Structure 1
Amino acid sequence: MTTRFPHLFSPLRIGGVTVPNRILSSGHDTVLAEDGAVTDDLIAYHEARAAGGAGLIVLQVSGVHESARYTTHVLMATDDACVPGYARLAEAVHRHGAKVFGQLFHPGREILESKDGTAPVAWAPSATPSERFHVMPRAMTEAEIHEVVDGYGQAARRLREAGLDGVEIVASHGYLPAQFLSPHVNVRTDGWGGDLGGRLRFLREALRGARDQAGPGFVVGLRVSGDELSHDGLDTGLVLEAVALLDAEGLLDYVSVCAGSSSSLSGAEHIAPPMVRSAGYTAPLAAKVRAVVGVPVMVAGRINQPQEAEQIIADGRADACAMTRALICDPELPVKSAQGRVEEIRACVGCNQACIGHFQLGHPISCIQHPETGRERRFAALPTVTRRKRVLVIGGGPAGLKAAAVAAARGHEVELHEAGRRVGGQVLLAERLPGRAEFGGVVTNLEGEARRAGARIRTGSRIDAVALAAAAPDAVVLATGARPRRPHLELMDEPVVLDAWSVIRGDAVLPRGRIVVADWRGDWIGLGVALHLAAQRRKVTLCVTGFAAGEHLQQYVRAAMLAEAVRARVDIVPNVRLHGADADTVYLQHTLTEGPVLVEGVAGVVLAQGHLPVTDPDPVALGIPSDRVLAVGDCVAPRTVEEAVLEGLTAAAAL
């Protein structure tokens, strides 16, 4: 046991199971299931986290009834044919000493999609609509309620037969059990509604069914939002009353506490809280639950570092900590923590782009910092090279740093040259914007990995023909990045027009008065610069080419930033493209009608109009054979950190 984190690395008894430590990967969608079944990719994904030292793996939701298919890639536990797949997964996790639980799930009215694109019929306690997904459900019949309740028990039996150690019933985030419990959603007047006893009946019978059908010794827990933090959601008082009753009846082996609700935009943000939320901010909710139950309590909510988890457990606010996105970003976080290698932990920055962002786009899970995630079978164990090459990396942004780290780790002799004073590329700009300081951790993590792997990093070093010849590389990784794009504009009377980079860096001073931010992409740059200027008490109009500001951001990140923009009184004009400007007017064109749109009384314009690749130097033109040059990141085509890091990994894997 490590002396630095004695609470975190002590065993925990949950029902009839002993978990080796207090770090868990909580249930989260991966889009690695196929036709409702476990796949080799899903097994490899969870095995990597078990091998990295997590004490408990909680699988993504398993549907308990055919009406529970809320996405086309949900796991299903509705047929005995599922047992062999779950058994292979359980065996892989157990191989490393970890325990594994399944999640038993029905979304109720929170339906996202159907297999053929038609709108499915959503079941709920009552015909109360979901605000976020604009779904009007159908009130369940008594027979349907009994069917679904029986589904929880049947699914629990199957997962026990597969060798799992337990299950948890998902009553969090406004899903079906929470809908039955909610007086706002459940307006039934029969035995499944009315007072608390009636509204709690569905969850009580689901728990009892899981216990009865799975048999003794099998863990049955509950996941619940300590507060749904939504205008019509469950509040803490009601949740505490419900869990206390269920625990008193002996139905719970543990409670896993989170926050938020899927049913509203403001509540959904807490499903995977963005970086604006503080570390462990849900721990007070877990502490309140722990005070009214006699079973272990787990907590989830931006717990990224072992010291945060240790403190939560030491303070008695929870018995175990879900470090789910932290484990997505660094599967080896537990073993690094146990061995005192905390400085080597690749810290999650809460960007949400490739984890839950991928899920919401229907793509397999990954991580912008660690693209090996979700691709374990391809990249997790790259072989050491048999022939060492001299590898020259030109450019120290995320793409270059990842290429250098992986190439050096494989045994190549790697030297990275960055023309600027610091490595990091555009991340050094992003971290300066309001609420995005944590994003700078991407550079800290990648640079640390490259240096620990043995790559030599030289800053303030620009590669030219002489330097290239002196390096005599066997391979060149070109990662020279991008520069701001300035489109052709009709300008009169010398208006002040600056690019976003110079404004963020503070290189230029904008005149007093209203500033228009012209945003072509709809990502963090335009919206972030608008918030940056608003924080300086500037009047800001954000003009976006798309239907909404932040259109290309993950929806929880976008929601948090848009909420801040509303509070800062940023004016947003959608569906316009920039045409020109004069001394006090910005001329735009509506993207739908092609008609003119004017913003008057303007003192200056800030351009967030995308980027152009930087292709200088050209190693091929300087004499390096083209088959020895690998271009990665924005110098190929300007995109995001995710693509840059993935291409750096792919290039290094090919060397």
Structure 2
Amino acid sequence: MKHFPNLFSSASLGKVILKNRLIFGPHATSLGCDGKVTEELIAYHEARARGGAGLIILEGATIHETYAYPEQFIYLGSDKCIPGIKKLTDRCHQYDCRVIGQLFHAGRAVRISLDGSQSVAWAPSEIPDERYRIVPKEMPREMIYEIIEAYSEAALRLQKAGCDGVEVLAGMGYLVAQFMNPSTNQRKDEFGGSFENRLRFLSEILIKTRAKVGGEFVIGIRVSGDELDGLGLDANDMLKICKTIDDKQLVDYFNVIASSSATPFGWIRVFPPMEIKPLYAAPFAKEIRKNVSRPVILGGRINQPQEAEKIISEGVADFCAMVRPFIADPEFAIKAESGNSEHIRACVACNQACVGHRLAHFPVSCIQYPESGREQIYGELELVKKAQKVMVVGGGPAGMKAAIVAANRGHSVEIFEKSAQLGGQVLLAQQLPGREEFGGVATNLAHELQATTAITHLNQEVTAQTITEFAADVVIIATGSVARKADLDLDEKTDIVYAHDIIENNKKTANSVVVADWRCDWVGLGVAEKLAQQGCHVRLVVNGFVAGEQIQSIVRDAWIAKLHRLGVEITSFARLFGSVENSVFFQHISSHEPLVFEDVGTLVIAHGYYSNSSLMDSLKTFNGHLVSIGDCVQPRSVEEAVLEG
């Protein structure tokens, strides 16, 4: 029986035949260096090629000095890029995986240059960028033609480097889209005004590129089926653009997403968190596919092979582009094709180590699979020559990952968890509104653990005596963390509830609630949302510059938007100081001035966690090989727990 027969059928993009319809989509990785491909970037893409992807579309590479930052991007403005890309394409081609390079210019969406200073942002017109709050400089005609030439020269370099095609990023509110959009293009020359003139920049790029690379080389464009920000190109605009490009026979395919970098609202959909429903861009791709003659690729929150199969079989799109699912599991395609889709390490759209790392200019990775982006460091697990008896104490993410790795290397492993279920803090996080998907972290790790030879013991408290009697060669302590109590001058007449009791035990509160959030992470945001959904009037007071300061910015911004819709009031820069009956006192952390909130029905305290180090402390005289990992070392996040495991 063939699994997912439509998804794993071959199909053509232009003159290139792909072995299946699964594409590892374009995304910035921060794995380049000095504008060139590195061994780390090659190993990263090779892992996905080996894992069964039919096509890899490389990250957007910059093509002109007017947008040549940051250094982790690939720069196609000179021939220096060719050897590295050639090495990458050769490595991917050995797995029958095709490679297409993407060309990128951000236009007005530029913040810094290579030395960290504010560089000049060039755009079709001097229309401010809302997200970066930049007023760009209008491009002179000579520069426009120079950049068009740079696009075509960059495509030629990709061809020389062994790529099978080139994709022009024409969506997401970046330079090409800025030319197409009448709200950002108010030029009076041949590149502005009429629809045909606004499309001229893209058309000239495609015409010039085809003349350079010939008819065999694949040319495609990535477009936003709708920019979804109310300010940019909507579905009707994009349908007209795609039909015109198709009628002119300028491309071999359309790669459709739905987002814009121009506004915070549109930016959330560039890297959609779990609040954004899967397949959110499917309606736009379907409509474009009905009206063009070239193949259509759909991207955006396609998480499972079942979803991808349905997209192909129902004619929504011809191919499916996935990014984060392949980051979470490089073997996504092989597992699906071989009938092992239940073993796929499904992405939970947390954005923490993939998008979060990239936006902080660190290499892309995954909280569930820290090997991603670190292929050169971890590589393939080596079997040990002599197995050891390993005891893991704690069944949270750190403990499970440690047990998985140790067992897969050939050790004899037993893991002990004091509760009835593996998962640790993840089991709390998944109980918050809209965060159910995050529970997949625990589910995926538990599935991986079950597939090993490790033995799991639930409902078993471990003491120093237990460890001594077990006589393991190696003991790994992963006992996590416990909620931190507030050591403050709080009146016993004040109704005080701790956040973890609301999450775990549905502890009831009064209708008027102040949430004191010291950590500025998912706990304060989630509890505030949960109480607001129950009809409470909620004020979230955070000990930082913004609520959710500790979590990935796109996830944070989407969450704050939900709180705004629910009427939650947010006060920043305030630490909890004390209370008297129904009055709660805070102190502004910058001015040290008092902030007083009256008539507070319930004070909810979210003051973070302490390391649960009691077991480790009791083992000070233990003579065996002892290691501690995760939150019991220091309370952090799932990412660090799994990485240390």
Aligned to 2:536: 538
| 1:3 Cα offset (Å) | 2.4
Aligned to 2:574: 576
Query: For 1:549-571, what per-residue CA distance to the aligned partner results, in whole angstroms no more than 9, with x for missing partners?
Result: 11222122112111110111011
* Paired AA for residue 153 in structure 1: S
Aligned to 2:554: 556
* 1:186 aligned counterpart, secondary structure: coil
Query: For 1:18-76, what per-residue CA distance to the aligned partner results, in whole angstroms no more than 9, with x for missing partners?
Result: 01101111110000000010000000000000000000100001111111224332111
Q: Work out whether residues 72 and 114 of structure 1, in 8 Å CA contact, stay in contact via their aligned partners in 2.
A: no
Mapped partners of 1:255, 1:400: distance in 2: 44
Mapped partners of 1:166, 1:462: distance in 2: 58
Aligned to 1:301: 300
| 1:389 Cα offset (Å) | 0.6
Mapped partners of 1:395, 1:493: distance in 2: 35
Mapped partners of 1:515, 1:594: distance in 2: 23
* 2:307 aligned counterpart, secondary structure: helix
Aligned to 1:651: none
Mapped partners of 1:230, 1:508: distance in 2: 38
Query: For 1:497-545, what per-residue CA distance to the aligned partner results, in whole angstroms no more than 9, with x for missing partners?
Result: 22211111125332x2211111112111101110011111111110001
Aligned to 1:404: 403
2:622 counterpart of 1:629: no
* 2:622 aligned counterpart, secondary structure: coil
| 1:110 Cα offset (Å) | 1.0
Query: For 1:444-492, what per-residue CA distance to the aligned partner results, in whole angstroms no more than 9, with x for missing partners?
Result: 0001111211111111111113321231100011100001111311122
Mapped partners of 2:618, 2:55: distance in 1: 51
* Paired AA for residue 66 in structure 1: E
Q: Work out whether residues 402 and 446 of structure 1, in 8 Å CA contact, stay in contact via their aligned partners in 2.
A: yes
Mapped partners of 1:434, 1:610: distance in 2: 19
Aligned to 1:183: 182
2:609 counterpart of 1:645: no
Cα distance change, pair 507–132 in 1 and its aligned pair in 2 (3 A): closer
Aligned to 2:122: 123
Mapped partners of 1:207, 1:513: distance in 2: 60
Query: For 1:167-225, what per-residue CA distance to the aligned partner results, in whole angstroms no more than 9, with x for missing partners?
Result: 10001100111000000000001000001000000000011111111122000000000
> What is the TM-score when the length of structure 1 is the normalising length?
0.97
Aligned to 2:507: 508
Aligned to 1:599: 597
Mapped partners of 2:598, 2:339: distance in 1: 59
Mapped partners of 1:555, 1:112: distance in 2: 17
Mapped partners of 1:611, 1:316: distance in 2: 49
* Paired AA for residue 618 in structure 1: M
* 1:279 aligned counterpart, secondary structure: coil
Q: Work out whether residues 114 and 120 of structure 1, in 8 Å CA contact, stay in contact via their aligned partners in 2.
A: yes
Mapped partners of 1:229, 1:462: distance in 2: 51
Mapped partners of 2:563, 2:215: distance in 1: 53
Aligned to 1:608: 606
Mapped partners of 1:612, 1:180: distance in 2: 53
Mapped partners of 1:115, 1:405: distance in 2: 41
Mapped partners of 2:450, 2:365: distance in 1: 24
* 1:327 aligned counterpart, secondary structure: helix
The percent identity for this pair of structures is 45
Question: Which of 358-367 and 553-562 deviates more?
Answer: 553-562
Residue correspondences, number:
645
Mapped partners of 2:380, 2:539: distance in 1: 49
Q: Work out whether residues 239 and 288 of structure 2, in 8 Å CA contact, stay in contact via their aligned partners in 1.
A: yes
Mapped partners of 1:641, 1:543: distance in 2: 24
* 1:566 aligned counterpart, secondary structure: helix
2:59 counterpart of 1:60: yes
Deviating above 4 A after TM superposition, structure 1's stretches of 4 or more consecutive aligned residues are none
* 1:271 aligned counterpart, secondary structure: coil
Q: Work out whether residues 71 and 111 of structure 1, in 8 Å CA contact, stay in contact via their aligned partners in 2.
A: no
Mapped partners of 2:537, 2:50: distance in 1: 52
Mapped partners of 2:515, 2:608: distance in 1: 13
Aligned to 2:158: 159
Aligned to 2:242: 243
* Paired AA for residue 631 in structure 1: S
Aligned to 1:266: 265
Mapped partners of 1:45, 1:537: distance in 2: 47
1:586 corresponds to which of 584, 587, 591:
584
Mapped partners of 2:223, 2:45: distance in 1: 23
Q: Work out whether residues 619 and 629 of structure 1, in 8 Å CA contact, stay in contact via their aligned partners in 2.
A: no
* Paired AA for residue 83 in structure 1: I
Aligned to 1:320: 319
Q: Work out whether residues 35 and 74 of structure 2, in 8 Å CA contact, stay in contact via their aligned partners in 1.
A: yes
* 1:637 aligned counterpart, secondary structure: coil
| 1:619 Cα offset (Å) | 7.4
* 1:75 aligned counterpart, secondary structure: coil
> What is the TM-score when the length of structure 2 is the normalising length?
0.99
2:527 counterpart of 1:529: yes
Q: Work out whether residues 464 and 619 of structure 2, in 8 Å CA contact, stay in contact via their aligned partners in 1.
A: no
